[in-house]
């Protein structure tokens, strides 16, 4: 009976993916590009509400939970928690077929596929050599799927135009999610006196407060880039994002949202007239920036997260874990240093898998939760695999690095050293869409190629060359 059910699920899943691929081939180019913004909004909805039943159930009790929900509460959600993963899987199968219809992107798509498969093969070396803990493979495949989906979001955004409707839809969807999240946040905050809380880390309707903070950063990035949605919607989303960041108690989220809000104000000032630009510039440097710094320190202190050094040096802190990792590396053999312990080791998902298998996470060699993307990549893939990963990532980011993207790049740099960013699906999709949109906006003005990281030498979809006009006609048929 179980085998028949699994076979039915597999056949239906394959049929759904085939149908989505056929739909992709039938859509015109502009329809697919606009759908990227709608997809991001819908995916954020699926990722945000997956634990809403547990959050609202907990909020209705007199003793709400803080920082994170118990695993038993999360398991009661049922299949809803896997909706976002299914959406990512379908999108991961969908976008390469869309990009393959652009002749000038075929070469770059092939290079990306070779790089991605090479990373996967490096991550499996430890398991082939029987030195890794096999159940952790699923944890590694999960972050590779998130990375693959993020590349797809950037590719589709680069290959087409956005529309005012699609951006308004996405921003309105995110505002609704933030407002929906405020209800359990307020109930959790009202469950105990603020004065009796040493640290305020409220998860809202997310699995833990850290995820809530990362969601707020993603919303802040999308508010920054959605210029066609209107300033009212974007600033509303930015303010709500900062509020969620503050209640989550995530320092990274608070600082990142303040930086993005300053950047948004700076961009609006650059488009003003000369006299107004001078006034806004004065306000930016002498009022906005100092106020943001003071406000950031105040919000961090309000959340009880101001003891940065002491917290990081304590047991389980990032610096303490970093010293533990260094001690492990010093005692490791050459094989582990060169090839790592296999994809999935040291990730947040691996900790959950270890708990499900009723084993101590630290009993698996190098399975240390370090909250650092660079170190976690090394633990999984070793020195050689890490070089392969970061060379590939840098080659994709370099064409997208523009002056307008500096705030997003700063947020990315901060995220690399404060968390394992590859696991954060909200952040990865927001970073991808944000960098792609900022690059496309700058090149639309300069009439340069639009394919970005996928083929910087090929004629773009909106270039004014003869090849660009032929490309537009071929994709409109």
Residue 7, pLDDT > 50, answer no
The reported pLDDT for the residue numbered 448 is 39
Q: How confident is the model at residue 459 (pLDDT cuts 50, 70, 90)?
A: very low
DSSP 181-227: HHHHHHHHHHTS-GGG-SS----TTSSBHHHHHHHHHHHHHHHHH-G
**Taking residues 196-211, what's their average pLDDT?**
76
Q: Where are the beta strands (DSSP E) in 146-303?
A: none
Residue found by looking up tokens 């070089």 in the block: 387
Q: Report pTM.
A: 0.81
Q: In the prediction, which pLDDT does 275 show?
A: 52
Residues 102-111 have a mean pLDDT of 88
| Residue 419 confidence (pLDDT) | 86
Quote the pLDDT of residue 188. Answer: 75
| pLDDT at residue 162 tops 60 | yes
Q: CA 332 to CA 329: how far, in whole Å?
A: 5
Contacts of 438 (CB under 8 A, 6+ apart): 225, 400, 402, 404, 405, 408
Taking the CA atoms of the chain, what radius of gyration do you get in angstroms? 23
Alpha carbon distance 401, 388 (integer Å): 20
Residue 464 DSSP symbol: S
CB 475 within 8 A of CB 461: yes
Regarding predicted confidence, which is higher, 142 or 69? 142
pLDDT in tens, 351-408: 888 888 888 888 888 888 888 899 999 999 999 999 999 999 999 998 888 888 889 9
pLDDT tens-place string over residues 250-265:
889 988 999 998 888 8
Above 90 in pLDDT, residue 450?
Answer: no
- Please report which helix (H) or strand (E) contains residue 240, including its range: helix 231-248
- 350 compared with 82, residue with greater pLDDT: 350
Is the pLDDT at 279 greater than 80? The verdict is: no
What is the share, in percent, of the chain residues with pLDDT greater than 90?
Answer: 33
Region 398-423: what's the mean pLDDT? 89
Tokens of 444: 């639309």
Regarding predicted confidence, which is higher, 327 or 293? 327
The percent of residues above 70 in pLDDT, for the chain, comes to 68
Residue 178: closest CA among 372, 393, 426:
426
What CA–CA distance (Å, rounded) separates 369 from 457? 41
Tell me what the mean pLDDT of segment 411-419 comes to.
Answer: 90
Token pair in block for residue 267:
């961009």
What is the overall mean pLDDT for the chain?
77
User: Which comes out higher in pLDDT, residue 329 or 32?
Assistant: 329
**Mean pLDDT for the stretch of residues 233-261:** 91
Assess whether pLDDT exceeds 60 at residue 96.
yes
Sign of CA dihedral 193, 253, 374, 112: positive
CA distances from 278 to 258, 262, 267, 303 (A): 22, 16, 13, 36
Residue 145 pLDDT > 70, yes or no? Answer: yes
Higher-pLDDT residue of 328 and 76 is 328
Phi and psi for 223 in degrees, rounded to 5? -65, -35
Q: Which of 123-132, 283-292, 304-313 has the lowest mean pLDDT?
A: 304-313
Look at 140 and 279; give whichever has higher pLDDT: 140
């Amino acid at each position: 009976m179980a085998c028949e059910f699994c076979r039915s699920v597999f056949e239906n899943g394959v049929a759904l993916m085939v149908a989505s691929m056929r739909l992709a081939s039938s859509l015109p180019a502009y329809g697919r590009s606009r759908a990227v913004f709608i997809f991001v909004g819908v995916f954020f909805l699926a990722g945000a509400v997956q634990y809403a039943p547990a959050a609202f159930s907990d909020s209705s009790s007199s003793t709400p939970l803080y920082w994170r929900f118990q695993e038993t509460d999360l398991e009661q959600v049922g299949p809803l928690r896997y909706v976002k993963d299914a959406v990512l899987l379908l999108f991961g199968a969908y976008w390469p077929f869309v990009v393959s219809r652009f002749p000038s992107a075929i070469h770059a798509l092939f290079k990306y596929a070779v790089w991605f498969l090479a990373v996967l093969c490096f991550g499996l070396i430890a398991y082939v050599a029987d030195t890794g803990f096999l159940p952790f493979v699923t944890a590694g495949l999960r972050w590779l799927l998130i990375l693959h989906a993020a590349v797809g979001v950037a590719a589709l955004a680069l290959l087409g135009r956005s529309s005012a409707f699609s951006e308004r839809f996405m921003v309105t969807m995110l505002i609704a999610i933030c407002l929906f999240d405020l209800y359990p946040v307020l109930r959790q905050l009202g469950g105990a006196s603020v004065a009796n809380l040493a640290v305020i880390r409220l998860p809202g309707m997310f699995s833990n407060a850290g995820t809530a903070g990362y969601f707020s950063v993603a919303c802040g990035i999308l508010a920054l880039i959605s210029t066609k949605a209107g300033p009212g919607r974007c600033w509303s989303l930015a303010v709500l994002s900062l509020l969620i960041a503050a209640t989550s108690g995530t320092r990274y989220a608070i600082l990142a949202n303040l930086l993005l809000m300053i950047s948004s104000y700076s961009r609006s000032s650059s488009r003003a007239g000369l006299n107004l630009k001078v006034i806004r510039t004065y306000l930016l440097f002498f009022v906005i920036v100092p106020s943001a710094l003071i406000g950031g320190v105040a919000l961090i202190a309000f959340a009880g997260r101001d003891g940065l050094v002491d917290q990081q040096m304590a047991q389980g802190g990032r610096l303490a874990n970093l010293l533990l990792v260094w001690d492990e590396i010093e005692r490791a053999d050459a094989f582990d240093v060169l090839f790592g312990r296999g994809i999935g080791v040291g990730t947040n998902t691996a900790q959950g898998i270890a708990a499900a298998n009723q084993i101590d996470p630290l009993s698996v060699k190098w399975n240390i939760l370090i909250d650092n993307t660079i170190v976690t990549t090394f633990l999984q893939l070793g020195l050689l695999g890490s070089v392969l990963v970061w060379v590939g990532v840098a080659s994709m980011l370099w064409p997208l690095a523009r002056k307008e993207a500096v705030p997003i790049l700063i947020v990315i740099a901060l995220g690399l050293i404060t968390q394992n960013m590859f696991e954060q699906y909200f952040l990865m999709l927001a970073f991808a869409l944000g960098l792609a949109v900022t690059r496309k906006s700058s090149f639309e003005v300069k009439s340069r190629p639009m394919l970005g990281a996928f083929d910087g030498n090929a004629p773009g979809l909106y270039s004014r060359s003869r090849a660009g006009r032929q490309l537009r006609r071929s994709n409109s048929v």
